[in-house]
Amino acid sequence: MTPSRGGVLSALAFALTALALAPLQSQALEDADVPRTNENRTLYAIPVPLPYDSLQSAKPGIEKSTLEQTQFHLWSYISSDYDASKIKRAVVTLHGQGRDAWSYWDDTYDALLNATSPTKRSSKSSSSTSTLNRTSLKRDEVLILAPLFFNNQDTSAYQALDEEFDSQSIVWNGGDWAEGADSILPDTVYGSEEGQTFEAPKVSSYEALDEVVRWFSDKNVFPKMETVLIAGHSMGGQIAQRYALLGAVPSASTPVHFVVANPGSFAWLTPERPEPVDDCPDTYNLWKYGLELSSDGTWSQRYLKSFIQQSLDAKSEVLDVRVRYSEIRLVHYLFGLDDFGPGDTRCQALTQGPHHLGRGQNFLQHLDTQVLGPRREADAAQHGSDNLQGWGKASHTSDFVKGCSHDPMCMWLSKQGIERLFFTNADGEEGPRGVGDDDAVQAKWYPWGVNSAASHFPSRSTSTMLAALAASICMAFL
């Protein structure tokens, strides 16, 4: 039977859309590429419980109980020999497309050494205009974590770790981890009886970050924790910006700040673009480049799907994620003034600008004129221009760094980078804004009680996590 012309065109359109949004590929990580430990950092497998919605749909009985007790692992580099009772600040540093998490940990540690050097500095923090002594920041009060988002090319690396540490590494397709996509591996969960298997639920990279935030915000583990920083450069900047926009961020009473440095693209909040969209009119505003729903009115990803669909519905009373992101959550942008690299060369990214720096400048203008501007005008019309409600507290900041191109070391070691990573909320007096206990949507849309640092999985206790960490460290030295 010969397909109709309309059917052929529909298939072609679908193929072109898939190609246009295909994940970016990079060089594979081999086992030898992934260092285990050194005197400063340790490779650690963070336990990640399976998603709540997947467990709800599991068959009652052995399948559900097996999945409830199953944990996958997000490999990460963490500061060695830290004392959890002293930690006040956690810096989660997110790698770029190359997935060299160890290098990002080292760059962040070098910046910490600089930040704790015995010199004085003037704080540009909104919370203080006084001169702060750098020695007031103590190195043993800062914990650095660098997650490693394995992809399907890294077979040698993650299989070696799983065999060495009896873990179940979470693996994503290409660079899909940067947009909150579901994992592709593990694909099987093994039951207690021989030959018993179940299809493994998929894990979003945002669910993995949720678990990191939940752990750091647990005052039973880190009783003095004051601030969590989610900081990313390049593709790491992409996941930081998009997680700030959509993530649950279960931080309880702990404030969370996001640092977005030199990303190859942004998730724009409205359909307008500074460059022509003629070459990709049907895809330029789809996730990860925008917030457009599919033609049937649904969201394209599983993570918080129902909430996001309702949030983007103008008729819904659910808090709009665009409002939460632009007016409430605390996001800091860093741009290298010499970063003229094209980065993502797909049409959807090019509609945002010609290069990293240009896209950053355009996104800031987009926030000011197309997102915040209309709401300022509406607020002024309602309350009067001299009595604007809530516009005095800027939730977003931006810094432009001289002499830096597309280089995470240069960005983190800059004065601006050190300021954002280590002296944001320097006095520790902030509360959470738009995250954790301050997120107005969580009571209904995060059914597992995401504002609480306590897990909904009885088997995953604080002692379990500490035991896993101790085992990982011990094995690394064997």
pLDDT digit string, tens, across residues 294-337: 888 889 999 999 999 999 998 998 999 999 999 999 999 999 99
- Helices marked H in 173-283 — which ranges? 205-216, 235-246
Identify the H or E element spanning 120. Answer: strand 120-122
Separate counts of helices (H) and strands (E) for the chain: 16, 14
For all residues of the chain together, what is the average pLDDT?
85
Least confident window among 155-164, 211-220, 232-241, 443-452: 443-452
Task: Provide the whole-model pTM.
Answer: 0.87
The answer to whether position 112 is within a domain reads yes
**Coil, strand, or helix at residue 338?**
coil
pLDDT at 449: 52
The answer to whether position 469 is within a domain reads yes
pLDDT at 464: 36
Domain count of the fold of the chain: 1
The answer to whether position 3 is within a domain reads no
Range of the domain at 385: 24-477
What percent of the chain has pLDDT above 70? Answer: 81
pLDDT at 462: 38
The answer to whether position 15 is within a domain reads no
The answer to whether position 11 is within a domain reads no
The answer to whether position 414 is within a domain reads yes
pLDDT digit string, tens, across residues 88-138: 999 999 999 999 999 999 999 999 999 998 764 544 433 333 344 554 899
Return the C-alpha torsion angle 382, 385, 386, 391, nearest 10. 80
**Tokens read off for 131:** 């001169």
pLDDT digit string, tens, across residues 418-433: 999 999 999 999 999 9
Residue 337 belongs to domain with CATH number: 3.40.50.1820
Whether pLDDT at 390 is above 70: no
The answer for residues whose C-beta is within 8 angstroms of residue 414's C-beta and 6 or more apart is: 334, 401, 404
